[in-house]
Amino acid sequence: MPRFIEIDESKLVALHDGLDLLEMLDRDAMSELDLYVYGITTNEGVVDAAREAIADSRDVTEQDVQLTEVAVAIRLGADTIYALHGSGIRLDNEDFAYMGEGGEGIRTLAFTFSRFKPTATLGYFNTLALAMSDAWLDDFLRKHGSAAPAKVTPAVHRTEEATQPGVPPAPGVPKQTSVHGAAKLSDLIENFLR
C-alpha cells in the first residue's frame, strides 16, 4: 500500500463530494479518519511562517534562516477542501517539513511555533498528494521537493570589540606573558625527569 498518492486539484475537488456524503452518514467516523493532503509550496507567506518557527526552535533570528520551500500536511475533510479551494485555511498547528543542511536530513516542525499564521489555498501548492497519516510528509518532500537545504547561519554576537590585525592592544592594558614567581616550564620538566 502506498504511503501517499499524488493528486491534482481536480481530484481533490472531486474527493470533496465523496467526503461530504460520508460525513452526512457518520460524522464521528469521518472525524476519526486520519486523512491528510500534502503540498509543497514556495509561497512567501507560508515560507516566512516556517522560517519564523525554525528560528524559534534554534534560538536564532528569522534573518539567519534561508529557506525556499516547505512541504505542508493539512488534515483533510469536506470543509477543509472547500476552504482550500476558496478563501483558504489558516495554518495554526499543521506540520511542515523542510530539507535540513549538512547531515540533518529532512526536519519536521509545526506552525505552532510561529507567531504569524498564514492562510493557504490550493493555488499555493505546486504538488499535492493524499495520505492516510501526516507521518510520511518527509518522504513526500524527499520525492517531490527541490532538495534545496535550509541554511541556518547565526549572526556572530561579540561581547567585546574586534581587534584589527597588526594593531596593538589599547594603551593602559599591561601585556602579561608570565606570572611573577612562577616556575619556568623547562625547570619543571628537568625536575620531573631527575
Contact at 8 Å (CB) between 49 and 29? Answer: no
Rounded distance, CA 51 to CA 46, Å? 9
The distance from CA 35 to its chain's CA centroid, rounded to whole angstroms, is 22
Listed by start position, the domains of the chain span 4-147
SS3 46: helix
Could you tell me if 137 and 73 are in contact, meaning their C-beta atoms sit under 8 angstroms apart?
yes
Q: How far is CA 83 from the centre of its chain?
A: 24
The identity of residue 73, as a single letter, is A
Q: What is the value of pTM for the model shown?
A: 0.74
Each residue's pLDDT tens digit in the chain (194 positions)?
Answer: 788 999 998 888 888 888 888 888 887 777 777 889 999 999 999 999 999 999 888 778 888 888 999 999 999 888 888 899 889 999 999 999 999 887 788 999 999 989 999 999 999 999 999 999 999 999 999 999 988 888 887 766 666 676 666 666 666 655 556 656 566 777 778 888 87
Q: Which of 16, 95, 4, 8 is nearest to 49 (CA)?
A: 95
Q: How far is the C-alpha of 110 from the C-alpha of 94, rounded, in Å?
A: 6
